[in-house]
């Protein structure tokens, strides 16, 4: 279980060389170094909601960050303080993050798609001393400042107004303490208070370095961000990874199938990070695809949600672009596993298609990954258990949640709450698979069923746009299997047709017994399906008995 000594333990590991090498001591050091080495190289391209493009060179970005540091100091912010951001994907949000980290303070991003009560909870629980807000959220920021005593003041991010008075500040030396808290991101669970995941500068940099090396990112590359940067995926993969490579980040206000391919081509993007729902959107709007994208795009990184074999196959076959599937959590900084980039096509196809689930790859060199049983004992290949992670990219802990930390680190490793298994290749490497969230497993008559396996069957039925398996309360078996189905536009299918098609590929105990049709599926801001929110639709069948 992490303690107050955990950051010092990580610092000691870094000094003693028992953790992977940290190539620069802090995030600000990387930016300062690149500004000196390649001042005119593009560091950041940002597209706003209207599609307006702005670009900053490394020298310009460093100058803006130094002004931001001066503005933060003028507000009394010191190393170790927390600053909450009420913002969305915007170039100024990136400048704010970098300024906070260069000062040695901690960013507490507020997911503005959460409900108002959760937003207030995050600001108060994080003990934020300052709020930085874009114009859309400025009135809420001032209201929060009035409600929460620890908040000292509010600054307007829009257009750089918060730092305008300090332009040309210069001569800022980055705070160089890799064990310093850098980010506190709050989980977006559907019930209970969100948990604050505390990550250090070393956590962030070590994972970014690992992703740079794994994906072969160079100074010439562009990485496009279409995911929200209040989340670790957007922050680590497509902001910090290009930073540690001296590459350029291409930031989108939000994802849009209509602008995805044209911007990718215009910016000559080599890598983009997505979630499975975005792959589905791109397939649905495939008319926007530009074949010339293949000249620039090496692959798409995909994780942070359930990817089915069928969806991955359709994307790769349709666009001729490889999906590099991976896995990680906020609690493990970001990615912990990823498919190797250099797999021959037949091996890539095998690991993505042959075992019922697309593989999430092998452990990155920056951490260890295993499958444990409920007592913390390692399991052999092919046996399902809990995915666990240890190493210097694992979080410091949940902020002010000792009981949650005790549970999460009960056996020394971080317990992800995800069920999975692994198989070895000819070289002896462990290729991991995720079969579902343990809390979302359907327990029918004492037998655990993977919803991902059933999802794949449902989504393979012609005319089904998306199908999710939902475990609902049933007095005969404890839980039964339901199917929540969204049909493709213009398609008409009845429930019996779907149930019959599912039973052709699944045994009776795994097959859905009830179909509920809907028009949309609830997702988090990062595209994860919120399966448990669908349970209420199946309440009418609580007392029903289903027979073969």
pLDDT value at residue 8: 43
CB of 70 closer than 8 Å to CB of 172: yes
Does the pLDDT value for residue 90 go beyond 90? yes
Report CA-CA distances (Å) from 215 to 243, 301, 351, 460.
14, 9, 18, 31
Classify the phi-psi angles of 19: left when phi > 0, otherwise alpha if psi is within -120 to 50, otherwise beta. Answer: beta
Burial-class residue 302 by CB neighbours within 10 Å (0-12, 13-18, 19+). Answer: buried
Strand, helix or coil for residue 256: coil
Most confident of 166-170, 252-256, 473-477: 252-256
| List of long-range contacts for 119-122, beta carbons under 8 Å, 24+ apart | 119/86, 119/144, 120/144, 120/147, 120/148, 121/193, 121/194, 122/84, 122/186, 122/194, 122/196
Q: Which of 244, 229, 64 is nearest to 72 (CA)?
A: 64
CB of 282 closer than 8 Å to CB of 317: no
CB of 230 closer than 8 Å to CB of 251: no
Residue 300's pLDDT band, with cuts at 50, 70 and 90, is: very high
Pairing type for strands 82-86 and 130-133 reads parallel
Q: Does the domain made of 441-541 have the CATH classification 3.40.50.300?
A: no
Residues 6+ apart with CB under 8 A from 207: 236, 333, 334, 335, 364, 366, 393
CATH of domain 26-37+57-176: 3.40.50.980
pLDDT value at residue 16: 52
Does 445 or 127 have the greater pLDDT score? Answer: 127
DSSP letter (8 states) at residue 366? T
Does 522 or 166 have the greater pLDDT score? Answer: 166
CB of 178 closer than 8 Å to CB of 25: yes
Does the pLDDT value for residue 7 go beyond 50? no
Question: pLDDT (tens digit, 9 = 90+) per residue, 361-419?
Answer: 999 999 999 999 999 999 999 999 999 999 999 999 999 999 999 999 988 899 999 99
Q: How many residues does this entry show for the chain?
A: 548
DSSP assignment of 196-225 equals EEEEEHHHHHHHHHHHHHHHT--TT-EEEE
Question: pLDDT (tens digit, 9 = 90+) per residue, 132-186?
Answer: 999 999 999 999 999 999 999 999 999 999 999 999 888 899 988 888 999 999 9
Query: Around 65, how many Cα atoms within 13 Å sit in the side-chain half-sphere?
Result: 30
Enumerate the domain spans of the chain: 26-37+57-176, 441-541
Q: Which of 211, 220, 241 is nearest to 229 (CA)?
A: 241
CB of 154 closer than 8 Å to CB of 129: no
* Residue spans of alpha helices (H) in 236-275: 241-245, 257-266
Q: Which residues pair with 386 in a beta bridge?
A: 372, 419
Interhelix angle 116-125/138-147, nearest 10 degrees = 60
Residues 6+ apart with CB under 8 A from 191: none
Does the pLDDT value for residue 451 go beyond 90? no
Residues 6+ apart with CB under 8 A from 345: none
Query: Around 124, how many Cα atoms within 13 Å sit in the side-chain half-sphere?
Result: 14
Radius of gyration of the chain measured on its C-alpha atoms: 23
Q: Which residues pair with 420 in a beta bridge?
A: 385, 434
CB of 267 closer than 8 Å to CB of 247: no
pLDDT value at residue 243: 98
pLDDT value at residue 288: 96
pLDDT value at residue 282: 95
Report CA-CA distances (Å) from 100 to 131, 241, 525.
12, 18, 24
**What are residue 189's phi and psi, to 5 degrees?**
-65, 160
Centroid of chain to Cα 243: 18
Strand, helix or coil for residue 242: helix
Question: pLDDT (tens digit, 9 = 90+) per residue, 50-80?
Answer: 999 999 999 999 999 999 999 999 999 999 9
Residue 115's pLDDT band, with cuts at 50, 70 and 90, is: confident
Classify the phi-psi angles of 16: left when phi > 0, otherwise alpha if psi is within -120 to 50, otherwise beta. Answer: alpha
Question: pLDDT (tens digit, 9 = 90+) per residue, 206-238?
Answer: 999 999 999 999 999 999 999 999 999 999 999
| Paired tokens of 250 | 């291409």
Mean pLDDT score of the chain: 91
């Amino acid at each position: 279980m992490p303690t107050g000594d955990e950051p010092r333990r990580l610092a000691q590991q870094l000094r003693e060389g028992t953790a992977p090498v940290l190539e620069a001591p802090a995030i600000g050091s990387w930016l300062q170094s690149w500004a000196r080495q390649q001042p005119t190289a593009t560091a950041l391209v940002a597209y706003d909601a209207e599609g307006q493009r702005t670009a900053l060179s490394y020298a310009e970005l460093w100058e803006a960050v130094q002004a931001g540091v001066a503005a933060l100091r003028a507000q009394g912010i010191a190393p170790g303080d927390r600053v909450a951001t009420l913002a969305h994907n915007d170039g100024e949000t990136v400048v704010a993050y970098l300024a906070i980290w260069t000062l040695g303070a901690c960013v507490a991003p507020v997911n503005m798609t959460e409900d108002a009560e959760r937003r207030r909870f995050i600001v108060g629980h994080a003990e934020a001393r300052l709020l930085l807000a874009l114009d859309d959220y400025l009135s809420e920021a001032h209201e929060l400042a009035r409600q929460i005593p620890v908040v000292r003041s509010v600054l307007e991010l829009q257009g750089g107004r918060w730092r305008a008075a300090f332009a040309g500040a210069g001569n800022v030396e980055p705070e160089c303490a890799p064990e310093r808290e850098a980010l506190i991101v709050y989980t977006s669970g559907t019930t209970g208070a969100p948990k604050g995941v505390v990550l250090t500068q070393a956590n962030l940099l070590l994972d970014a370095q690992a992703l740079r090396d794994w994906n072969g990112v160079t100074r010439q590359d562009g990485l496009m961000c279409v995911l929200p940067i209040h989340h670790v995926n957007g922050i680590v993969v497509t902001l910090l990874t290009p930073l540690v490579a001296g590459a350029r980040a291409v930031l989108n206000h939000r994802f849009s199938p209509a602008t995805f391919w044209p911007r990718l081509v215009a910016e000559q993007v080599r890598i983009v990070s997505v979630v499975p729902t975005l792959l589905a959107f791109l397939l649905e709007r495939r008319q926007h695809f530009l074949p010339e994208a293949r000249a620039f795009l090496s692959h798409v990184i995909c994780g942070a949600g359930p990817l089915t074999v069928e969806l991955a196959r359709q994307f790769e076959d349709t666009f001729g672009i490889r999906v590099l599937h991976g896995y990680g959590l906020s609690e493990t900084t970001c990615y912990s596993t990823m498919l190797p980039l250099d797999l021959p096509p037949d091996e890539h196809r095998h690991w993505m298609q042959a075992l019922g689930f697309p593989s999430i790859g092998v452990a990155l060199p920056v951490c260890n990954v295993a499958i444990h049983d409920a007592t913390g004992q390692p399991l052999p290949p092919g046996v399902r258990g809990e995915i666990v992670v240890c190493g210097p990219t694992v979080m410091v802990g949940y902020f002010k949640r000792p009981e949650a930390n005790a549970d999460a680190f009960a056996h020394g490793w971080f317990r992800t709450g995800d069920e999975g298994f692994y198989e070895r290749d000819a070289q002896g490497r462990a290729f991991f698979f995720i079969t579902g969230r343990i809390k979302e497993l359907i327990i029918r008559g004492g037998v655990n069923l993977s919803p991902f396996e059933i999802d794949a069957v449902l989504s393979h039925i012609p005319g089904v746009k998306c199908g999710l398996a939902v475990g609902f309360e049933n007095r005969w078996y404890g839980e039964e299997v339901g199917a929540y189905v969204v049909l493709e536009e213009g398609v008409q299918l009845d429930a019996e047709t779907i149930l019959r098609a599912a039973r052709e590929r699944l045994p009776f105990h795994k097959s859905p017994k009830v179909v509920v049709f809907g028009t949309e599926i609830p997702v988090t801001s990062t595209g994860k399906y919120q399966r448990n929110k669908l349970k209420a639709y199946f309440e009418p069948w609580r007392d029903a008995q289903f027979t073969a």
